[in-house]
Every structure is written in structure tokens, then in C-alpha cells.
Amino acid sequence: MTREKLLQLTTEVLENASEEDQEVLELLLNGMKKKQSHEKGSYIGALLHADGNYNNQQFRIKIPNTPIIQNALNIVHGGITATLLDSAMGGLVHNILPPDKAAVTTEIKINYVAPGVGKELTCISNVIHKGNKTVVTEGKVFRDDGTLIAHSTASFFIINRN
């Protein structure tokens, strides 16, 4: 898409935008701006406004609960919760592997136990097992009131970096 067509599309969207549409567009644009300033981060992490850190054998990610991640019931979409879990557990694995290794998700299981509501979500991941070929992790997502909304386990296959 050319720059002119993109500007035209943006203008058309803004002309018909509700207040919520404008908020979502602002979130998308700020996410894109964040991605442009952080070379290593992913687009999905930037668009979710994810803030992650590794400490004491745990990886933690926080994201704000905004309209962009909610389903038609105004709760966090299950796929976003799954992405948050996979990102936190994958981030953990990335941090415990040597620099010449990477990992890919081979299996993930999620139990959703409460609706994702509130102002933000926090996902905490831990290692269950680290072998030479696989790593098994667990992750838990909490609302800002401390309520557990999802529990997950995942397996990652260790590969050589290219």
C-alpha cells in the first residue's frame, strides 16, 4: 500500500470513528511507534503494550486490558490470553538457553478459569523441566485483583540458532 493510500484510509477511518475506535487506533499507532524504537521486540508484543522481564528463574509479562484485546463480551479474548502465556513461557525459555540456541513451542495446554477483566493482566512463567532437547514450562495469568484467569503448561523444542 502506498503512503497516499494509507493516509486516505486513515482519514476515512477517522471520519467515521467512535470514541472507542479512536482509542483503539491510538493504541495501534502507539504500539507501532514502540516497535519502531525497539528492534528486538515483536509486533505482537508492541501492539499488546507488553512489558516483560526475567528475574529469579521467572519471566513476567504485564499488558493493559484495553478494547483492542477484548471480545464481544468485553472480556479479554481467549486467544490473547493464549498469546500472553506462550510469550511469557517462550520468553522464559529464551532467557535460560545459551546464546547459540533457540526454542519453538511444540505443545501448549490452557485451562481458562475466570474472565479476563480489570485494568491489566500479569503472566508469570516457571520452568518445570529443562532437558537437552526440550523444556517444559508453566504459566499463570492473573487479573489486577489477583484472581487467576488461566493456567497453562507448554513444551518447547530446543533448536540451533541460524
Confidence band of 36 (pLDDT split at 50, 70, 90): confident
Distance CA 2, CA 49 (A): 27
Q: Where are the beta strands (DSSP E) in the chain?
A: 51-55, 58-64, 101-112, 120-130, 134-143, 148-160
pLDDT higher than threshold 80 for residue 70: yes
- Specify the pLDDT at position 113: 98
Burial (Cβ within 10 Å: 0-12, 13-18, ≥19) of residue 134: middle
Scored b (16 or more CB within 10 A) or e, 113-122 reads: eeebbbeebb
C-alpha cell at 81: 490470553
Q: 139 or 162: whose pLDDT is higher?
A: 139
Report the pLDDT averaged over residues 75-93.
97
* Closest C-alpha to 122, from 156, 87, 72: 87
pLDDT one-digit tens code per residue, 89-144: 999 999 999 999 999 999 999 999 999 999 999 999 999 999 999 999 999 999 99
Amino acid at the residue 112? Y
pLDDT one-digit tens code per residue, 16-34: 889 988 888 888 888 888 7
- Specify the pLDDT at position 39: 63
pTM: predicted TM-score of the whole model, two decimal places? 0.87
Distance CA 105, CA 61 (A): 18
* Closest C-alpha to 75, from 83, 87, 65: 65
pLDDT higher than threshold 90 for residue 152: yes
Return the H-helix or E-strand segment holding 72.
none
